[in-house]
Amino acid sequence: MERVDYDARQHAVYAAGRAMPDDMRQTWAEVFAAWAPPERPLTVLDLGSGTGRFTPTLAGTFGGPVYGVEPSERMREQAAPHPGVEYRAGRAEAIPLPDRSCDLVLMFLMFHHVVDRPAAVAEIRRVLRPGGRVLLHSTFADRMPDLLWHRFIPGARTVEQRMFPTLTEVVRLFGAAGMPVVAIERVREKFAPSLSSYAARMRLRPISTFEHLTEDEIVRGLTALDRAAAAETTPRPVTAEVDLLVLGTDQSDSASTRADATGEPAGTSKPPNATR
């Protein structure tokens, strides 16, 4: 599938269209903290940091330096400054950090954009310290979530089944590099406080999937979504269950989930630092 150039259009709509409610950002921060190494401060890599949607939050949560690495110049230009954050140009296949320099790597909806995934996984392993963790939030082609906008634009689901890797593929890639599965956690993500708010954001077409859809199916789907939003009498948040895959270099944690012979996670385990 053709690579999406965020410097072409997505950079102009991403921050507004993908704005995250404060309470949801806090929920994600608590989930990240629960699965991160327990020591503080931590050095964190926000790989594919985009407009810095999470990067300052990571600095506040973990107390150490945070590096936001992002290939799109125009996305980096919009990233919010923070005294604990340094944004750098770079790709997952060539991370501009020294060996064993990070305690935690976050990849939030970016792994499907990586062209050479084995090279990227090797780079992540290179910069990760012993005992470090990788937090990978992605859609997986074999675990597609029930996203509301897919109901209005069914072609989007078809595109994303081709665009995203399978969970099995990702688990095998990281496992082969010495980063086995620790757990996979389901998180209920809130995308918008109401259908009308959600429809307004979707009109911006702030998801890279839109770049692979026809104008006709986009217009028809967004028109139907607008009609549904106009008919909403009692606002309700738009949510979905999504996946966070946790991987790590510490293979002695007996409480952790491991992959079985097929590469699939055997189940889930309780976050070692859980306070939720």
DSSP sequence for 40-109: SSEEEEEET-TTTSSHHHHHHHHEEEEEEEES-HHHHHTSPP-TTEEEEE-BTTB-SS-TT-EEEEEEES
User: In the predicted model, is pLDDT for residue 255 greater than 90?
Assistant: no
4 is written with which tokens?
């999406």
CB 210 within 8 A of CB 218: yes
Q: How many CB atoms lie within 10 A of CB 266?
A: 15
Tell me the mean pLDDT in the region 139-158: 97
* Mean pLDDT within 78-99: 97
- In sequence order, the β-bridge partners of residue 43 are none
Residues 106, 28: Cα–Cα separation, whole Å:
11
Question: Would you place residue 258 in the very low, low, confident or very high pLDDT band (cuts 50, 70, 90)?
Answer: very low
- Rounded CA gap, 233 and 90, in Å? 46
What single string gives the DSSP state of each residue in 169-214? HHHHHHHHTT--EEEEEEEEEEEESSHHHHHHHHTT--SGGGGGS-
Check whether 133 has a pLDDT greater than 50.
Answer: yes
Is the pLDDT at 123 greater than 50, yes or no? yes
Q: How do strand 238-248 and strand 102-108 relate by DSSP bridges? A: unpaired
Mean pLDDT across the stretch 227-248? Answer: 97
Q: For position 250, what pLDDT does the model report?
A: 65
pLDDT at 252: 46
CATH fold for domain 10-191+240-248: Rossmann fold (3.40.50)
265 beta partners? 259
Question: Which residue type is seen at 39?
Answer: E
Q: What are the residue boundaries of the structural domains of the chain, listed by start? A: 10-191+240-248
Report the distance separating Cα 25 and Cα 60, nearest Å: 12
Task: Compute CA distances 243 → 3, 135, 137, 145, 264, whole Å.
Answer: 23, 10, 6, 9, 14
Task: Specify the 3-state DSSP secondary structure of 111.
Answer: helix
Arithmetic mean of pLDDT, 48-74 = 97
Mean pLDDT computed over 215-223: 98
Cα(165)–Cα(245) distance, integer angstroms = 13
Q: How much of the chain exceeds pLDDT 70, in percent?
A: 91
Average pLDDT over residues 179-201: 97
Give yes or no for a contact between 175 and 181, defined as CB atoms under 8 angstroms apart.
yes
pLDDT band at 100; cut points 50, 70, 90: very high
Contact of 212 with 10, CB cutoff 8 Å = no
Confidence of residue 1 (pLDDT cuts 50, 70, 90): confident
Compare 66 and 258 and report the one with higher pLDDT.
66
What's the pLDDT tens digit per position in 82-91? 999 999 999 9
CB 71 within 8 A of CB 91: yes
> What is the pLDDT confidence band of residue 269, given thresholds at 50, 70 and 90?
low
Least confident of 14-23, 51-60, 62-71, 137-146: 14-23
Cβ count within 10 A of residue 16: 12
| Predicted local confidence at residue 80, as pLDDT | 87
Provide the pLDDT for residue 274. Answer: 62
Q: Give the whole-angstrom CA distance, residue 257 versus residue 110.
A: 23
The Cα–Cα gap between 49 and 7 comes to 14
Q: Is 135 helix (H, G, I), strand (E, B) or coil?
A: strand
